[in-house]
Amino acid sequence: MIKLHQLKPYRGARKRRKVVGRGLGTGHGTYSGRGAKGQNARTGGGVRPGFEGGRQPLIRQVPKLRGFKSPHAKATAITLSRLNKFNDGDVVTVQKLVEMQIIPKTAPVKVLGTAGLKKKLEVHLPASASAKTAIEKAGGKVI
């Protein structure tokens, strides 16, 4: 069985670094592989990055990304009727919502709605004013 310390690269797989300007015998003397004269023969030569020979560059063809992208996750809206999955007297939290597969993952949640709740629950989530009154009307409370 071959071991890691016995591994060697294939012959010709590793190339020697190009050394320029070291005389004619090296093959990279005189002009050092840059050819003769012109923009690319000079130091700092060549066109600027992104220059595409005079045509409209790709970066200017692509439309700009407008507006504002918030780094904060957007709150998932939960209607009151979806809280009927819980039993009377249960405490509703984000973790419980994930466990009962009402929301996909732990994320900001807000309870919305005006009607549809038939259970007495203790809700530990942000709720709209109308949802808050509906929960309290059903006999529960919002914390």
Where do the structural domains in the chain lie, given as residue ranges? 76-142
Residue 82 burial by Cβ neighbours in a 10 Å radius (0-12, 13-18, 19+): middle
The predicted model scores a pTM of 0.52
Residue 6: pLDDT band (50, 70, 90) is very high
Residue predicted with more confidence, 105 or 123: 123
Domain 76-142, architecture per CATH: Ribosomal Protein L15; Chain: K; domain 2 (3.100)
What is the spatial distance between Cα 86 and Cα 29, in angstroms, rounded to a whole number?
A: 82
What is the spatial distance between Cα 136 and Cα 142, in angstroms, rounded to a whole number?
A: 8
The backbone torsions φ and ψ at residue 88, rounded to the nearest 5 degrees and listed phi first, read -60, 135
Helix, strand or coil, per DSSP, at residue 92: strand
